[in-house]
Structure 1
């Protein structure tokens, strides 16, 4: 979304002030209108301009959320849900003003059912908080998008991450939600049972809705057992296509890899400098295997054969927890490592996902496009499920550069769609990818609009996103 496309506020500012006054009367200092609070809650880790809400409401319970939503609905004032602010496509911006509902204080683990491998949490619980809580149970929550995101935000954006190739994405691990809808009432979308054929699948309707249909107030999640053995390792390749082919062979052979991450030469260079590593500055695969000691050893040996066949270096693997942690910390710091390549520039993080058989083609054509444009854009990806990211570095104060980068990201999305893929594997649509979502889903946009109109007739929930 170009800077010139930022909307002004067509909503009634007097209505917003009326709601703020009534919220303050009811909730006191849970409501903040200072510019610093408002600016913090419009923060976005992309180049999209910040669009501030009129106020920030720190909800502490589902009753708080219900009461405040009823007030906003009465006056048709927008509601913008906020978790930790780590979303990448402007999902927390407030283009029409309104009230930002900060859910970070709703951070209780409500129940853990260890025998059934599930739990129920409030939306402000982060993935790291949950795993700390679960440490003594022998269980863990496997979805890892990198950032310590809130679980409500992860559900709202249908997040995934490095473990998705083995454990799936948020749509696979969310069993049920409670959601406050536009009438200020709370509904429950499912039960703890692992399957149900009782009517519409409302859980997956709200998972990925980016806060446009309601506010999530609790999430029931599947958990996984902590593996007996975890081993990680790396292998370098001469070309990105060789690395992609190794990924394709690994998945097609059914090797149950837990993580398989791809870094291009530029990203390896950035990680070496930022995290104090010394990998060859050529394309790199970073892997992790989960299972019994025997299974992990066998899987590592199988991948070593594949890497050798695809021209990779010897696969160096370790089960040492400290060494693995260092590797994955470097991977999770890839965004900041990429930014450090040119600190004077801004960054646009974008992603696409294609069928695994087209991964090499899509990455190769994208790198050719990067070279033609003369863009600085390191590549990193959850290659095991065909998902890869680019961090495009550019000057956001230069309108010509903005136009050039937007044209590039549009071509990237169209390339992925043409290969049977998606314009966004895990970032969501938000504001940043609205211009391409219609190309991907076609006439289904009308169905999505109809659902939005039915559940949120006054368009108060996170307006200006997705459509």
Structure 2
């Protein structure tokens, strides 16, 4: 049978024996409580909850290795869980199995100030890490909005508001410790900034959504805090004008740290949710990092750029309290948008295109939402060509569900046809599997071959990225 073919849903006849073996090994660390199981099948979207058969809270890498060894023996699926903020069903257990909860593995193991690196366990959250680093003059820049765990951010190749300057998880992870499908503990990479020795297994694991191994330790790059940070906002007549201004900013190589787009509806939502009084038109939130002089220079250059595209009312400040208030409103965008229609379910989707196609893609998406009669604020890390749509849908209304599904599908295809991707940072999980072939073509076969080689029993997060477990 070809690698790309799939098998029927596997039976779970051996799972009770596996759970007995896990119970004997771990005792009270293992739970089969229905509520706990459903909490760990949680997904922040409208995909149905598919709980695992059991949840194991682990304390160290040896717990993870032992648990996977037992599951391998009984061919029981294994799903890693951080804090549950993924958006495409990565945490669901469509074939049952064991959820390994990593939250207790939250130690910051080593900070190397001279090398600008830190080594952490996967349960550490990004906010926890930056709080720990606050007196070192260093910080960890990847900021996906949610207070996600580092392990989860590795698994989904997370990005966020700072990515335009500091990159994404693939750019800041130096080394990983990973438990394989057989229960072996391996290390990929070192603290050196580069290597030409062998395959880049670190980048292979990053973004694999728990299908190739479970991360138990992460070594990250850190960055120095800037002498001065300036944040500001500006308004535009249309979304296209705002996007054109972003494109020019990037093409002129302005070293901007953050540049976020909020459409008029998203601004309205933020005003209501965070008690702001922003003008309800397409708006850019921006941030500049550097010396006091360079921040002023960047702000002036940006001001000159936006004038060409109708940008108005540009104000910026280095006041820390005002900056935090502004970015907290941006981080609350999901909840602010949901509050526009509290009775509805929120469907968050994203896409990413080359910066030259950004205005076209965002404008077409906004028109699509309007023509469908849906409520769907747009917000995005537009410096990377990445933006998000939050559709508010009555899931009991088949017409609304169909309309929302159509918008998501057309956005994915639109982005792919623009030589972009159906997801810039949410991942594939269960939600976007049907776009993999169109985006990657024959390369999907290579991905599946790697999966089969590293996980021959297909126990690591099966049913993700591809709809069924692979036959080996």
1:192 aligns to what SS in structure 2? coil
* Contact 1:355-1:386 at 8 Å conserved across structures: yes
- CA deviation digits over 1:203-229, x for unaligned, max 9? 000000000011001011000001111
* Contact 1:121-1:220 at 8 Å conserved across structures: yes
- CA deviation digits over 1:99-124, x for unaligned, max 9? 00000000001111110000111100
Q: TM-score, normalised by structure 2?
A: 0.96
Query: Which consecutive residues of structure 1, in runs of 5 or more, have no partner in the other structure?
Result: 1-7
Once the two structures are TM-superposed, the CA of residue 339 in structure 1 deviates from its matched residue by: 0.5
Number of the residue aligned with 1:464: 463
| C-alpha separation in 2, matches of 1:464 and 1:397 | 26
Number of the residue aligned with 1:168: 167
Number of the residue aligned with 1:384: 383
Number of the residue aligned with 2:3: none
| C-alpha separation in 1, matches of 2:17 and 2:336 | 45
Number of the residue aligned with 1:4: none
Once the two structures are TM-superposed, the CA of residue 9 in structure 1 deviates from its matched residue by: 9.6
Correspondence 1:169-318 to 2 at 5 A: 169-318=168-317
* Contact 1:9-1:97 at 8 Å conserved across structures: no
Structure 1 residue 29 corresponds to structure 2 residue 31: no
Number of the residue aligned with 1:56: 55
1:73 aligns to what SS in structure 2? helix
Number of the residue aligned with 1:332: 331
| C-alpha separation in 2, matches of 1:220 and 1:138 | 18
Q: TM-score, normalised by structure 1?
A: 0.97
Number of the residue aligned with 2:85: 86
Correspondence 1:378-417 to 2 at 5 A: 378-417=377-416
- CA deviation digits over 1:239-297, x for unaligned, max 9? 11111011011111111000000000000011001110111110000000111000001
| C-alpha separation in 1, matches of 2:127 and 2:77 | 30
Query: Which consecutive residues of structure 2, in runs of 5 or more, have no partner in the other structure?
Result: 1-6, 467-472
- CA deviation digits over 1:338-394, x for unaligned, max 9? 001111111100000001111000011111111211111100000101000000111
Number of the residue aligned with 2:423: 424
How large is the RMSD of aligned CA atoms in angstroms? 1.3
| C-alpha separation in 1, matches of 2:181 and 2:324 | 44
| C-alpha separation in 2, matches of 1:12 and 1:21 | 17
| C-alpha separation in 1, matches of 2:282 and 2:403 | 26
Number of the residue aligned with 1:155: 154
| C-alpha separation in 2, matches of 1:205 and 1:94 | 23
Number of the residue aligned with 2:141: 142
* Contact 1:353-1:424 at 8 Å conserved across structures: yes
Once the two structures are TM-superposed, the CA of residue 398 in structure 1 deviates from its matched residue by: 2.6
Once the two structures are TM-superposed, the CA of residue 26 in structure 1 deviates from its matched residue by: 1.3
| C-alpha separation in 1, matches of 2:45 and 2:191 | 37
Once the two structures are TM-superposed, the CA of residue 298 in structure 1 deviates from its matched residue by: 0.6
Equivalent pairs, count: 461
| C-alpha separation in 2, matches of 1:182 and 1:363 | 41
| C-alpha separation in 2, matches of 1:177 and 1:218 | 6
| C-alpha separation in 1, matches of 2:68 and 2:398 | 38
1:136 aligns to what SS in structure 2? coil
Number of the residue aligned with 2:469: none
2:14 aligns to what SS in structure 1? helix
| C-alpha separation in 1, matches of 2:249 and 2:12 | 56
| C-alpha separation in 2, matches of 1:307 and 1:407 | 34
